[in-house]
Amino acid sequence: MTFFYWLAEWLASFFEGYLVLCFAADLLEKKKRPGAMFLGGGVIATIVIIMNQFSLYSPLNIVISIFINSAVGVYVLKSKWRIMIGLCLTFFTFLLNVGDLSVILLISLVIGDGSLGAVISGGVSLTRLMVVICAKLALLLNYLLIRRLIRRHLLEPMFTQHWLLVLIVSLAGQLVTIYLGNLMMSNITMILAERWIFVVVVIVVIIVAIILHYKYRIVTERKDNLELLSQVQAADFKALRQITEAEARSAHDFKNHLNIIYKYLDEKEDRAALDYVTAIMTPLQNMGQEIWTGNGIIDYILNSKKAMAEAKGIVFSIDTGIMKLNISDYEINMILANILDNAIEASEQMTEDRRIEVCIHSVNATLIIKVKNCHNHPIVKKGQKIITTKSDRRRHGLGMEIVKRTVAKSDGFMQTQYDDHIFSVLITLPEAP
């Protein structure tokens, strides 16, 4: 019978460890690896069972469990330590501990036994087993509710952008739950129940406030994205219209060109005919759309921006190769069009050395984008953020911020380098397998 109890304890601990990894994978949008996650859950469960031989509930057990879960998460999900510790601490505080202690308190109040906590912490028993099963069901319910929020992209910015705040709040919550949990393990009273209900209400209020905050941010970002997209599309349409109008004028004049060539040939003036053909070939050659990468969206952006830059007297050089993308057309448009628009705008202000260099290549399954341009305006930074010096800061600072968010969302990397004359942007993105 004792073996059955410990097997049930191991399965419960395995369930906890596996859900921690699922929670982290969902939040960080990492690919789930069932084999590695099952193995990680098994390792976590085994260590927890060994610790339970000495004490079934103690602050030391919780600290070690958080560390072990974080270590397994870093290995299995290839995540950063600071993010995994914040995730595990949040999971243990707001999903696991709140669920476990709420179940214990609820069952104690229903059966009218204030010593239930002491019975549970005293050792393995049928009572503890029933409470553990109810607690794991509560944990599963909490996880499913949180996963709905994750799928709506309401929580991941909190962990990736504000991980230190998450760590502090989760640590404070963990200390409160450990304190009240220790009291529950000795004797559950109505005063203790009221305190716990207050803590749960505060936690719910905090979660609702966070959700509302990030919903507001999402709505604002979408509005900004739509505004920027309309600006980009308007600029692209203008450039395309200029190209189309040039093609229409050339086609309209083509009949006249043929008449003149016929006249030269008819009068045996071969040299004049050849010179005339050479003169009209240049605009006709410029009408074609180059294939730079094999990707229709990237090629269109490069061709339209090249035409736009050259119309303004800017030398626009392109060095590319064939590649496959792992991000959507919308996202690559947000990244590449914004960077090139900034480069064209900066080059316009130059009186000389008006040039833009674009390099896009695939190296070791990584898409590398580098754009370099000359500039003559001062670069102002606030921390790690480049601040625009233009009067309309909200509008002109929007493009680079959207690029940064899009690159981060695609698991990419972005770096800017500059001196008094040259500004360059380097972006790396994972290529499609």
Distance CA 182, CA 39 (A): 31
Residues of the chain with pLDDT under 70: 1-2, 53-58, 122-124, 151-163, 214, 217-218, 221-255, 280-289, 378-398, 432-433
Distance CA 384, CA 404 (A): 12
Its pTM surpasses 0.85: no
Count of Cβ atoms closer than 10 Å to residue 28 Cβ: 20
Distances 166 to 63, 142, 161 between C-alpha atoms, Å: 17, 18, 10
Distance CA 388, CA 379 (A): 8
Count of Cβ atoms closer than 10 Å to residue 64 Cβ: 14
Q: Which two tokens stand for residue 380?
A: 């102002």
pLDDT for the residue 422: 87
Q: Which two tokens stand for residue 140?
A: 């599963």
Altogether, the residues listed in the chain come to a count of: 433
State whether residue 366 is helix, strand or coil: strand
Hey, what domains does the chain have and what are their CATH numbers?
2-188 (no CATH), 290-433 (3.30.565.10)
CB 79 within 8 A of CB 37: no
Distance CA 374, CA 422 (A): 5
Nearest to 6 by CA among 63, 45, 58, 57: 45
- The single residue listed with the structure tokens 């207050």 is 198
Distances 125 to 45, 56, 96, 129, 166 between C-alpha atoms, Å: 19, 12, 21, 6, 36
Distance CA 99, CA 97 (A): 5
Distance CA 387, CA 384 (A): 10
